[in-house]
Amino acid sequence: MAYAPPNVFVIAAAAALLAGAGCSGNLRLPGAARGPAAPPESWAYPAADVVPVLASGGMVSTTDRIASEVGAEVIRRGGNAVDAAVATHFALAVVNPEAGNIGGGGFLVARMKDGTIAALDFREKAPRAATRDMYLDERGEVSERALIGHLAAGVPGSVAGMWEAHKRFGTLPWADLVQPAINLAEGIVVHARLARSLQSHVTELRRFPATAAVFLVDSQPPRVGDRLVQRDMAETLRRIARDGKDGFYRGRTAELVEEEMRRGGGIMTRDDLARYEAVWRDPIVFGYREHTVISMSPSSSGGITLAEILNVLEDFDLRRARYHSRDHVHVWTEAVKRAFADRNEYLADPDFVPQPTATLISDEYAARRGADIDLRRATPAARIQPGLGAAPLRSAGREGANTTHYSIVDGQGNAVAVTTTINSLYGNLVTVAGAGFLLNNEMDDFAARPGTPNQFGLVQGSANAIEPDKRMLSAMTPTIVLDPSGRVKLVTGSPGGPTIITTVAQMISNVVDFGMDAGAATAAPRLHHQHLPDTLYYERGGLRPEVADALRAMGHAVAERRGYQGDTQTIVVLPDGRLSGVADPRRGGAAVGVRLPR
């Protein structure tokens, strides 16, 4: 949003005065004390423990140290941030198989040193034989097949995405960027994070023999220090290194995918693979308190929903609020509820459904959306209809988790943010026999039955219904923020299904509104709401009980999450040009810096 307050500010300001709040400039929150407040004692990640890595020659932050090292090494060898992203992506497919992938898809946002901005959509697509009701059982219920097994897989986009990004911006030879992943597939020493992940999903990994054959030995997960060899994956990567995109979408790899589908009752064909293309989109660009936010456009809902949240919040002077005070959390929640009501109704694959992008990210729309926020009480979700027309009332289910994000800035000032996923942990649990990679279960991100919650409890409308060749709506939000002088200031993103959007919104607000550094912004406890269910979630031990009670007294349903939210990989560019990188401690990982060459 532009910094000048829009007309509705007058309305909002009047409401605030009625509510007993003073007002000058932006809307002040009633009774709010200024500045950040320490999180409760119960909080697991004190800011002091999250110390950023500093470097001047480049920074790669991923959820796995090995993958970050691979990316950093590419920059040391003279590659740019996009080269590093390609190498990092393939490395993650090997060392972080629960989320990193070649069998899934994702989104890339870039801001190059010459000012070019770009958004690449390499989201999976429904196979051509997909039908609107393909997951409904005889009773009309959504069956498990949307999540587990061959039918759950969308046509993967990752390899096409990396190929396309490299074609446009890459500088080092493609094969050189795939080679580190080949080396890793030929054998890695299992580290604690991987061992833990495999251990905790052993039942799922046993479900399909080709998956068990890759990740288990005699049906047991490897232990820390064991060697994990992914021979078929190495072969597939070799074909990709040699033949580029065709090494995945045509020839031997495509044949193996089709054979796997035939064996397991899936519908994806070689033809689906051959026709897959990654697509350059116009990024979502909007202002937030004199900063410029560049984020992902549909088929991800991330950028538009982020814009609506922040545009509504911009009318409130959060900087005067104590962090995570009742008033801060209240206004934040109200903005998020309104944005998600719109997201769930309107957003979908833009190649199939016209997207009201310009309206939803406009100042005027945010002003109208925020005008009915009552500073004294929560608006029930049932009363928050999508802002461009009525929507039916629905109910919702539970939250879920798995995906990964990486952020890269090179020494020349090119910045790349990529979020990628196979959706659930270990995707649809099916490894393509002979090709050694896991497939996604992204089909569950469609509204398998519009109005019925998916695995993330998201209740989505018929705009996001299944159609052949369509991309399922995503929440992935790779984002780059420029400072008021137009320099890159923040590169961030996260996994977490719908919580991705609220996590990224909080990262931006933490830095821009509350002046936090990369470490404190990452460490701060996170909140989530998604309109339905009408519940504000906070991370375990992350909200003061008296604040939660005060919010309940305003009419919010407030619930503590069993675990933690997100896994941000963040780089902040400091005023002196140094890069400050942080990997979220919630899942582990590492930011790896590159020194300037002497």
When asked if residue 121 is in the footprint of ligand DON (CB under 6 A), the reply is no
Residue 409, classed as helix, strand or coil, is: strand
Q: Using CB under 6 A, pick the residue from 402, 428, 530, 580 that binds ligand DON.
A: 402
Spell out the long-range contacts of 139-144 with Cβ–Cβ below 8 A and sequence spacing 24 or more: 140/449, 141/449, 142/448, 142/449, 142/452, 142/454
Instruction: State the DSSP string of 438-453.
Output: BPP-GGGGSBSSTTS-
When asked if residue 448 is in the footprint of ligand DON (CB under 6 A), the reply is no
When asked if residue 305 is in the footprint of ligand DON (CB under 6 A), the reply is no
CA dihedral 111, 343, 460, 349 (to 10 degrees): -40
Nearer to ligand DON, 150 or 320 (CB): 150
Contact call for residues 560 and 540 (beta carbons, < 8 A) = yes
When asked if residue 539 is in the footprint of ligand DON (CB under 6 A), the reply is no
CA dihedral 558, 562, 568, 572 (to 10 degrees): 60
Nearer to ligand DON, 368 or 586 (CB): 586
Task: Give the active site residue among 403, 404, 419, 499.
Answer: 403
Contact call for residues 523 and 585 (beta carbons, < 8 A) = yes
* Least distance CB 467 / ligand DON (angstroms): 17
> How many C-beta atoms surround the C-beta of residue 51 within 10 A?
13
Q: Using CB under 6 A, pick the residue from 63, 101, 355, 474 that binds ligand DON.
A: 474
When asked if residue 497 is in the footprint of ligand DON (CB under 6 A), the reply is yes
Find the part of the chain contacting ligand DON (CB under 6 A) among 281-289, 361-369, 489-497, 544-552: 489-497
When asked if residue 156 is in the footprint of ligand DON (CB under 6 A), the reply is no
Nearer to ligand DON, 6 or 495 (CB): 495
Residue 362: φ, ψ to 5°: -85, 155
When asked if residue 403 is in the footprint of ligand DON (CB under 6 A), the reply is yes
Find the part of the chain contacting ligand DON (CB under 6 A) among 90-98, 181-189, 365-373, 470-478: 470-478
When asked if residue 423 is in the footprint of ligand DON (CB under 6 A), the reply is yes
> How many C-beta atoms surround the C-beta of residue 535 within 10 A?
17
* Least distance CB 123 / ligand DON (angstroms): 8
* Least distance CB 479 / ligand DON (angstroms): 14
* Least distance CB 120 / ligand DON (angstroms): 15
CA distance 337 to 343: 10
Known catalytic residue at 403: yes
* Least distance CB 473 / ligand DON (angstroms): 8
When asked if residue 154 is in the footprint of ligand DON (CB under 6 A), the reply is no
Find the part of the chain contacting ligand DON (CB under 6 A) among 5-13, 23-31, 43-51, 492-500: 492-500
Amino acid at 27: L
Nearer to ligand DON, 31 or 350 (CB): 350
Nearer to ligand DON, 45 or 514 (CB): 45
Find the part of the chain contacting ligand DON (CB under 6 A) among 28-36, 274-282, 493-501, 532-540: 493-501
When asked if residue 307 is in the footprint of ligand DON (CB under 6 A), the reply is no
CA distance 530 to 552: 17
User: Greatest CA separation found in the chain?
Assistant: 70
When asked if residue 475 is in the footprint of ligand DON (CB under 6 A), the reply is yes
Q: Using CB under 6 A, pick the residue from 62, 295, 421, 522 that binds ligand DON.
A: 421
CA distance 222 to 98: 15
When asked if residue 221 is in the footprint of ligand DON (CB under 6 A), the reply is no
When asked if residue 569 is in the footprint of ligand DON (CB under 6 A), the reply is no
> How many C-beta atoms surround the C-beta of residue 220 within 10 A?
12
Q: From the centroid of its chain, how far is CA 389?
A: 28
When asked if residue 461 is in the footprint of ligand DON (CB under 6 A), the reply is no
* Least distance CB 315 / ligand DON (angstroms): 28
467-505 burial, b at 16+ Cβ within 10 Å, e below that, comes to bebbbbbbbbbbbbbbeeeeebbbbbbbbbbbbbbbbbb
CA distance 80 to 472: 31
* Least distance CB 299 / ligand DON (angstroms): 9
When asked if residue 496 is in the footprint of ligand DON (CB under 6 A), the reply is yes
Contact call for residues 387 and 371 (beta carbons, < 8 A) = no
Size of the site for ligand DON (CB under 6 A): 14
When asked if residue 401 is in the footprint of ligand DON (CB under 6 A), the reply is yes
DSSP 133: T
Pairing of β 536-538 and β 558-560:
parallel
* Binding-site ranges for ligand DON (CB under 6 A): 401-403, 421, 423, 442, 445, 474-476, 495-497, 500
Give the residue numbers annotated as catalytic, written as ranges.
Answer: 403
